[in-house]
Structure formats: structure tokens, C-alpha cells
Amino acid sequence: MLNEKRDAPLELRRLERDEHDAPDGSVGIDPQHLSRVPVSDAAEGGPCIRLEGAGVHFESNAGPVEALRDITLDINDGDFFSLLGPSGCGKSTLLRVVADVVPLSTGRVTVLGASPSVARKARSFGFVFQDAALMPWRRVIDNVLLPMELAGAVDGAARKAADEVLELVGLQGRKRAYPKELSGGMKQRVSIARALVTKPRILLMDEPFGALDEITRDKMNEELLTIWSSTGTTTVFVTHSIPEAAFLSRRVAVLTPGPGRIRDVVDIALPYPRSREIRDTVPFLSTTSRLRALLAGDGAG
Ligand SMILES: Nc1ncnc2c1ncn2[C@@H]1O[C@H](COP(=O)(O)OP(=O)(O)O)[C@@H](O)[C@H]1O
Ligand SMILES: [Mg+2]
């Protein structure tokens, strides 16, 4: 028989785990831990996510891999912050550090003033992946309710929250559909709704539109900004697309590989709300050319 909990993406399962989990990795939720763990509000008004001299080493069959080195970064509450860099530069690893999936080898990370583990138990973040990672045998509404179900908390309030997020992503009319009946863009909207259903303070997105065609991606980018401005959720967005990072973000950290390091953090001085026409403007094009130069490592800008 299919085990839904075991088949859920790693980050989703990890988000629901705590110290009471069985050592084999199966998900065991202790009802005592369902209530939200209070998070220190020491960070109120300060950075939402703070990394100080953070480094990650992996052991692999080919020997040790230094994925990230000396990452120092503040991501402010309510920000739209992107991590931009080529494949293999450690973007996903950085997101996983924040999500309490990968531990730091050196340095420090705080999320909402506490450790990533405390933030995870307080359900402070939602995660969206490149692959929508929907359960094909579940209807849209039941996919969105999955995080509540894993926590054993599907009640009237949960159903209302699911309806609200489906409305937010424009899929209220498709709640009874199965994933196979949806386009790629719609699947990603379901995945965003699932990440937002628990009303997290932070949304972590790992190349969520990377598998979509360019026209759909542009549309999804506009919709994401609408969602961001209406929820105020601090968003950390991973991409290797320069125009995507420039269009969406308030700030962009440019990462370079071998090991992954921050080359620079760029303020994107384009006003919100942004619509697709902005992509043809001179300020947008000069932003993308600055990001491109930083990625190429020639230091311009
Ligand atoms: N679990 C792991 N074990 C060993 N090496 C890993 C692991 N996860 C990532 N890496 C390595 O760390 C580096 C950064 O990977 P990743 O964070 O996935 O980069 P990106 O998301 O920017 O493509 C790569 O060299 C990758 O092979
Ligand atoms: Mg990645």
C-alpha cells in the first residue's frame, strides 16, 4: 500500500517531524507537540533570517564537498529575497539550512530569533519545490490539506484556511480536480496554496517555476507578487534566472560556486507593484545587466 507520509517530499516530511520521530525516519506526531511552539520575538523589527559565517560540508562517495562557505546574510521581515546563482552553487542547500533539513558545519543561523528547529516546530515556514510534488490520487483540496493532516489537525478551521488559500491562488473552482487534470502552472499554484495553508511567516521556494514554459513562468511571477503583497509573507526564492530574480525581488544575493559564496547582495530599486511591462524598461535592463556581470565574476556594478 502507498504510504502517503513516506511518499511526501523530504522537506514536507521534515517539516512535520520532531524529536519523537521513530529512528527509521517514519513520521510520528506526538499530539502534545501540535500546539504552536512560541518563537522568541527578540527578532521583532529585526532580520527574519540571519546567517553568520555559515558553512556546510557534505561527505559524499567522491570525498568531502564544501557546499557553502562563510555565508553572512540578513533577510528582513516581509522581504522578497532571492538567491541567484548557477547550478551547484549551494542555493538549495542554503534554503535547506533555513528549513532545518541540513545542519550547518560552521557558523550560525537564526530564524525569527530562534533556531531553525524551533521555527520548524512552530510551523513558521512553507516550502515550494520545482516539482509541485502533489499526491496524484488526492484531489486539489486534499493536497492542500496535507500539512494539516500530517499534523492531525483537519477541522473546520483547516478547511476554511484551505478554501482561502485556493481562492488566493485562483483555484477555488478546481478544488475537486485531480492533479493530472491540471496544467503545470495550476499544479504549482496548488503547491503554493499547500505551503501557505498553515499561514507561515516565511515562504521558501526552490526554483518553483523552473519547469514551466516562459509565458507561464512570467504569469506565475506576476501572480506570486500579488500573493506576496496580500499576505506579507517573507519570501526566500531560489532561481538561476536573472530576469526572474530581478522582476520579483526586493533584494538578490548573487552566489558563485566552488564553494558557494555570496558575491554581493543587490537592492532592486524598481517600484512595486510590478507588471510584465517593466521588463522592457531601461532600469530593469540595467538591473539584469548588473546581476549578469556579478554572476560572470567581473565585478562590474
Ligand atoms: N546531500 C548531499 N550530499 C553530498 N553533496 C551534496 C548534497 N547536497 C548537495 N550536495 C552538493 O553540494 C553542492 C551544492 O548543491 P545544491 O545546494 O543542490 O546546489 P544548487 O541548488 O545551487 O544547484 C553541489 O556540489 C552538490 O553536489
Ligand atoms: Mg537546487
CATH of the domain spanning 45-124+201-301, picked from 3.40.50.1820, 3.50.50.60, 3.40.50.300, 3.10.620.30: 3.40.50.300
User: Which residue has its alpha carbon closest to ligand 1 atom 6?
Assistant: 58
Cell of residue 47, nine digits: 532580520
Ligand nearest to the CA of 257: 1
- In sequence order, which residues have a C-beta less than 8 Å from that of residue 103 and are 6 or more positions away? 56, 97
Whether ligand 1 lies within 6 angstroms of the CB of 93 is answered as yes
Domain segments of the chain: what residues?
Answer: 45-124+201-301, 136-199
- What does the pLDDT profile of the chain (301 residues) look like in tens digits? 445 555 555 566 555 554 344 333 333 333 333 333 334 433 345 689 999 999 999 999 999 999 999 999 999 999 999 999 999 999 999 999 999 999 999 999 999 999 999 999 999 999 999 999 999 999 999 999 999 998 888 999 999 999 999 999 999 999 999 999 999 999 999 999 999 999 999 999 999 999 999 999 999 999 999 999 999 999 999 999 999 999 999 999 999 999 999 999 999 999 999 999 999 999 999 999 999 999 998 654 4
pLDDT, tens digit (0-9, with 9 covering 90-100), for 50-59 = 999 999 999 9
Closest alpha carbon to 254 in 93, 71, 128, 106 = 71
Q: What's the pTM?
A: 0.87
User: How many angstroms does the Cα of residue 142 sit away from the middle of ligand 1?
Assistant: 32
pLDDT, tens digit (0-9, with 9 covering 90-100), for 205-252 = 999 999 999 999 999 999 999 999 999 999 999 999 999 999 999 999
For the chain, give the secondary structure using H, E and C: CCCHHHHCCHHHHHHCCCCCCCCCCCCCCCHHHCCCCCCCHHHCCCEEEEEEEEEEEEEECCEEEEEEEEEEEEEECCCEEEEECCCCCCHHHHHHHHCCCCCCCEEEEEECCECHHHHHHCCCEEEECCCCCCCCCCCHHHHHCHHHHHCCCCCHHHHHHHHHHHHHCCCHHHCCCCHHHCCHHHHHHHHHHHHHCCCCCEEEEECCCCCCCHHHHHHHHHHHHHHHHHHCCEEEEEECCHHHHHHHCCEEEEEECCCEEEEEEEECCCCCCCCHHHHHCHHHHHHHHHHHHHHHCCCCC
User: How many angstroms does the Cα of residue 18 sit away from the middle of ligand 1?
Assistant: 24
Bridge partners (DSSP) listed for residue 66: 57
